[in-house]
Amino acid sequence: MAHGLCDTLCLADVNPLAVQACQKTIRENRLEDNVTVYLSDNLTDIPFSEKWDLVVANPPHFKSVSTKKISPEIIFLDKDWVLHREFYKNVGKFLKEDGALVIQENTLRSTIDSFKDMIESNGFSIVDTPVCSLDSRYYYIWSRRTPK
Ligand SMILES: C[S@@+](CC[C@H](N)C(=O)[O-])C[C@H]1O[C@@H](n2cnc3c(N)ncnc32)[C@H](O)[C@@H]1O
């Protein structure tokens, strides 16, 4: 918002601590009129009145635990990509017709092929998959609705 990319913002996380941090930021920056935050397990607690132009997400990046991780599982573990699969299945209900998705992933434990089927089978097409210029461990999957 500070860079003028958007006028309004909707945030969501399942972790109450993350939601509290967002609420504090909203309050301290007087953004109540333009920013909404939901405590939501994936998209299940988002009201259908929400219709987005752009969805940006940084979901848990690993589908299993195979290394000793310091951060809690809620940060990094999406067991067998269940969260990703549910996300791509349902996100269309909240996306405007010409909306776009930009999802950050991690080259250490996934490739584009990990998600391609779940993206395409839910009516989306991959537009591009740029690597993060600041840290090449991260890449982004940018997708849009497949034209009918
Ligand atoms: C890689 S961290 C990203 C944190 C932060 N959003 C960012 O971009 O820096 C993954 C986030 O996904 C959240 N998360 C994990 N499981 C979730 C679920 N079922 N529904 C919603 N959010 C979830 C975690 O609480 C954590 O904040």
Q: How far away, in angstroms, is 148 Cα from ligand 1 center?
A: 32
Percent of the chain surpassing pLDDT 70: 97
Helix axes 112-120, 82-90, angle to 10 degrees: 30
pLDDT band at 72 (very low <50, low <70, confident <90, very high): confident
CA–CA–CA angle 24, 51, 5 (5° rounding) = 60
Pocket of ligand 1 (CB under 6 A): 13-15, 18, 41-42, 58-60, 74-75, 83
Cα distance between residue 65 and residue 23, in whole Å: 31
Q: How far away, in angstroms, is 134 Cα from ligand 1 center?
A: 21
Q: Which two tokens mark 36?
A: 């909404």
CA distances 103 to 27, 68, 113, Å, are 27, 25, 14
89 has pLDDT over 90: yes
Candidates 138, 127, 129; CA nearest to 100 is: 127
| Pairing mode, strands 52-57 and 95-106 | parallel
Sorted by where each starts, the structural domains of the chain and their CATH numbers stand as 1-39 (no CATH), 51-145 (3.40.50.150)
Q: How far away, in angstroms, is 143 Cα from ligand 1 center?
A: 20
Q: Which atom of ligand 1 is nearest to the CA of 41?
A: 20
148 has pLDDT over 90: no
pLDDT digits (tens, 9 = 90+) for 103-130: 999 999 999 999 999 999 999 999 999 9
pTM: 0.95
Which residue do the tokens 């299940």 mark? 44
Q: Which atom of ligand 1 is nearest to the CA of 76?
A: 1
Candidates 112, 111, 97; CA nearest to 144 is: 97
Q: How far away, in angstroms, is 70 Cα from ligand 1 center?
A: 16
